[in-house]
Structure 1
Amino acid sequence: MVIAVLADIVGSRRLDDRTAAQHILDSTIAAVEAEAPLAVRPLTPTVGDEQQGVYRDLGEALTSLLMIQLRLPDGIAFRFGIGVGEVRAVDSVHGELADGPGWYAARAAIETVHDREGRAVPRTRTWIVGAPGQDEVMETTIAASNAYLLVRDELVGAMSERERRLTYGRLVGRSQQELAAEEGISQPSVSKSLKRAGTAAIIEGVAALRGESR
């Protein structure tokens, strides 16, 4: 069993330059994969504003998708539907087609994101749905992970573009001094921004996903 991910672009029809936006998305995904090659198949455009990717496990998927969220600039964002379940390829004259209950679950998950965005949690960007037949342990894991994602998305959604860049930098191991030089600001300013953004909670959350003790 693997993790299927569907992503669509938030507000794609309102983008001034859809082609330029796609180039940014493509380069962001490639940069994240270069820093942390976690995907079995990185997010790849399929049709319209949709992308598909596959990950080995839930923790790796959640880590990679967070990194993408943090690295994207203001004005360009993804929604993510995560499906836990079997995925398979169906042969076609047009090449392999993605199929299986994992993809159906990912579709249901992204529809949940759309629904929650339009109600009381507008910063929701990520949701997980398990395909039928999950055991009790996975059902509990999915429920706990969705609770985590609601808070994580709220925290990331409240960050400025610079705060997201700084958080990404710390997540991949750059020092505050290095980030200060890149941003052209002082190290104390970096520290203040990281505290205001809640970066420590984000980093501790990723460590917990990876099963790392800190």
Structure 2
Amino acid sequence: MERRIVTIADIVGSRSLPDRSAAQRAIEDAVTRVERDAPAAEQPLVATVGDEFQAVHTELSAALRSLLLLQLALPEGIELRFGVGVGGVRAVDSRTELISDGPGWWAARDAIEAVHRLQDRGMPKARTRVVGAPEEDADMMSQIRMANAYLLARDELVGAMSSRARRLTYGRWAGRTQRELAEEEGISQPAVSQMLAAAGSAALLAGLSALEGDDR
């Protein structure tokens, strides 16, 4: 089996959404945007059953980048939870299609359940958790522990952002100037600067750069 970074995502509060079909389309549009702007997935996030989605990456940093950008790209009122598993994955023949299974997927299921537990323990903005399969080596488990510490702070920042602040943060990540973003939003450039500062966008994007090995 080859190690993969696999993600199981579910829709937060899916049963209470006023238009479930519209939410599904919005999520899929956001996934398409992220994969266009930062292609990294071996299998981009795709709907599976109910309110769940699955994705496959080869690198943990690439997976966490994609999930952050997806959080920023989702419209107001639509959120996802992410359980990220690190471990071996194997192909399984099926009469319907080729599917995969293995410790990586079992770890991802454990991870999304861990997100639910964090929310129940007084961290309602928690959205992402990483779990390694038992056979993963000490170096990878150390990376996972550091990733989870980072994700707790990251999710708090994103969870406190308004939809406009998320759009502006995504735009800054994509290299758009504050003036360009102000014109798109119909507000002043100083208002954009103030909103980004209040939301902690610079810290969020600096954390993303550090995650990808750019410590500038």
Shorter-chain TM-score tier: over 0.9
In 2, the alpha carbon distance for the partners of 1:47 and 1:110 equals 15
Aligned to 1:68: 70
Secondary structure of the 1:23 match is helix
TM-score, normalised relative to structure 1? 0.98
Residue 208 (structure 1) aligned to one of 183, 207, 210: 210
Aligned to 1:53: 55
Post-superposition Cα deviations, 1:79-104, rounded to whole Å, max 9, x if no partner, equal: 00000011122111111222011000
Aligned to 1:107: 109
Cα distance, 1:117 vs structure 2: 1.0
Cα distance, 1:24 vs structure 2: 0.2
The answer to whether the aligner puts 1:195 opposite 2:193 as a matched pair is no
The answer to whether the aligner puts 1:118 opposite 2:120 as a matched pair is yes
Name the amino acid aligned to 2:49.
V
Unaligned 5+ segments in structure 2 are none
**How many residue pairs get matched?**
214
Cα distance, 1:173 vs structure 2: 1.0
Post-superposition Cα deviations, 1:48-94, rounded to whole Å, max 9, x if no partner, equal: 00000001111000000000001111210100000001112211111
Name the amino acid aligned to 2:95.
V
Name the amino acid aligned to 1:184.
G
Displaced runs of 4 or more, over 4 A = none
The answer to whether the aligner puts 1:179 opposite 2:181 as a matched pair is yes
Name the amino acid aligned to 1:198.
G
Name the amino acid aligned to 2:8.
L
Aligned to 2:167: 165
Aligned to 1:6: 8
TM-score, normalised relative to structure 2? 0.97
CA RMSD of aligned residues (A): 0.8
Post-superposition Cα deviations, 1:137-160, rounded to whole Å, max 9, x if no partner, equal: 111110111000000000100000
Name the amino acid aligned to 2:14.
S
Name the amino acid aligned to 2:16.
R
In 2, the alpha carbon distance for the partners of 1:93 and 1:137 equals 38
Secondary structure of the 1:30 match is helix
Name the amino acid aligned to 1:52.
Q
Report sequence identity in percent. Answer: 57
In 2, the alpha carbon distance for the partners of 1:87 and 1:133 equals 12
Aligned to 1:41: 43
Aligned to 2:98: 96
In 2, the alpha carbon distance for the partners of 1:9 and 1:96 equals 25
In 2, the alpha carbon distance for the partners of 1:66 and 1:45 equals 18
Cα distance, 1:118 vs structure 2: 1.6
Unaligned 5+ segments in structure 1 are none
In 2, the alpha carbon distance for the partners of 1:62 and 1:139 equals 16
